[in-house]
Amino acid sequence: MKNFIKGSMVAAAMLMGASSFAQIADENNVTVTMELVPVLQLNMNTTDQISFVFDEIPEYIGGITKYGATILTVSSTVNWDLFASGTSGVHNANPLNRQWDFVVGYGPSTAVTTGVGSREVLPLTALELRQFPSTTVNNGATPTQAAYYNTAFSAALGTAGTWPNNIYVTSGVSPYTPSTDVNDPYIAGGAGLVNYVDGGTYLTQTGSVGNTNYYFVIDYRIVPGLPAIFPKAGTTVGTDASHTLGATGAAFSTNAAVGIAGAYARPGVYTMNVKYLLIENQ
């Protein structure tokens, strides 16, 4: 009897094992993770130094234009904005000083900081930009950005009343700070979330020439004027309507009281820096 019961239990156990094995069902899992790192690439395959040498009277009067001196190509995985920001050493040190760095002076003239005479303080906004393509590059559904560098340079003679081509220069904040004013120029996209360009790359653009959102050609112009008061300098940033040395408007620098009849730029070497900033739309 006991042997029979034991035998039955063993048989049942074997049957149980066979039953559980018999059902074929199993699974294995593979976990897949994907990390999308935001990538913003701005390439400039042209020279990173542009020299303007004014040594002829017509150059002072008509200015010098450097066509296609900078070519920018964009690749981005996120919505982006592109803007140029004019700056210098003194501007970086104090963003209220929107002026070129003075390197060396020519001639015996002694610079003054007030009144009539030569000044070593040149406005950064004396540099003008023009972009190609000249179409508005903005993919926002209801774009509000008003200013781009896509208009022709104004006539060289005469003092400007508007400054659509003057480089954007921050006032009181870091030169890396994008403007929140739609009237300050961008190259593509614009101020605020509603103005932007979709992610993409110039590598896969198949549109006609001038119809790409990821390839930009930049022209530069400086018009010193005669006398050298930089009649085209000015900006819409802040309350400084004019930066010309000969104007009587508000100062563009805390280093000198500029803007008075009889003031002019001291001959010499000056440098400034243009930062092209590709940023995620914000």
Partner 1 sequence: MYSSKISICFIISMMLLNVFYIQGQAKCDDLTRSNCDAFPLSRLLLPNQQNAQLIEFEFDNISEYQAGKTYYGSTLLRLIVSDTANNDCIWKLKMHITNGGAPLPTQEWETIATYGSSGAKPQLDLIQVRVTNSCQSSPLNGSWQTFAAVDNADITIIDNAFPTPAGTLYGCSGGETNGEGSYLTNPGEFSFSIDYRIIPGLTKTPGKYEMAIKFCITE
Distance CA 133, CA 135 (A): 5
Q: Which amino acid is at 133?
A: P
Q: Quote the least distance from Cβ 186 to partner 1, whole Å.
A: 17
Q: Is residue 41 close enough to count as binding partner 1 by CB under 8 A?
A: yes
Three-state SS sequence of 200-225? EEHHHCCCCCCCCCCEEEEEEEECCC
Q: Quote the least distance from Cβ 35 to partner 1, whole Å.
A: 4
Q: Quote the least distance from Cβ 196 to partner 1, whole Å.
A: 7
Site for partner 1 (CB under 8 A): which residue of 2, 3, 27, 206? 27
CA distances from 222 to 100, 105, 148, 201, 203 (A): 13, 19, 18, 31, 32
CA distances from 217 to 106, 143, 153, 197 (A): 34, 23, 15, 17
Q: Is residue 99 close enough to count as binding partner 1 by CB under 8 A?
A: no
Q: Is residue 48 close enough to count as binding partner 1 by CB under 8 A?
A: no
Q: Which amino acid is at 191?
A: A
Site for partner 1 in 204-223 (CB under 8 A): 204
Q: Quote the least distance from Cβ 69 to partner 1, whole Å.
A: 25
Cα radius of gyration (the chain): 32
DSSP 166-205: BPP--SSS-TTSPP--TTS-BSBS-SSTTS-B-SEEGGG-
With tokens 């897949």, the residue in question is 32
Please identify, among the stretches 16-24, 81-89, 143-151, 259-267, the one whose residues bind partner 1 according to the rule CB under 8 A: 16-24
10 Å CB burial of residue 196 (0-12, 13-18, 19+) is buried
Q: How many residues make contact with partner 1 (CB under 8 A)?
A: 46
Q: Is residue 15 close enough to count as binding partner 1 by CB under 8 A?
A: yes
Distance CA 224, CA 107 (A): 18
Q: Quote the least distance from Cβ 28 to partner 1, whole Å.
A: 4
Site for partner 1 (CB under 8 A): which residue of 151, 159, 201, 255? 201
Provide the mask over 57-86, with x wherever binding to partner 1 is found by CB under 8 A and - wherever it is not: ------------------xxxxx-------
Q: Quote the least distance from Cβ 78 to partner 1, whole Å.
A: 4
Site for partner 1 in 138-157 (CB under 8 A): none
Of the pair 30, 53, the CB lying nearest partner 1 is at 30
Site for partner 1 (CB under 8 A): which residue of 16, 155, 157, 261? 16
In contact, 186 and 83? CB cutoff 8 Å: yes
Give the residue among 146, 208, 150 at the shortest CA–CA distance from 181: 146
Please identify, among the stretches 55-63, 144-152, 197-205, 224-232, the one whose residues bind partner 1 according to the rule CB under 8 A: 197-205
Of the pair 136, 201, the CB lying nearest partner 1 is at 201
Give the residue among 166, 188, 170 at the shortest CA–CA distance from 178: 170
Residues binding partner 1 (CB under 8 A) = 1, 4-5, 8-9, 11-12, 15-16, 18-39, 41, 75-79, 196, 198-201, 203-204, 280-281
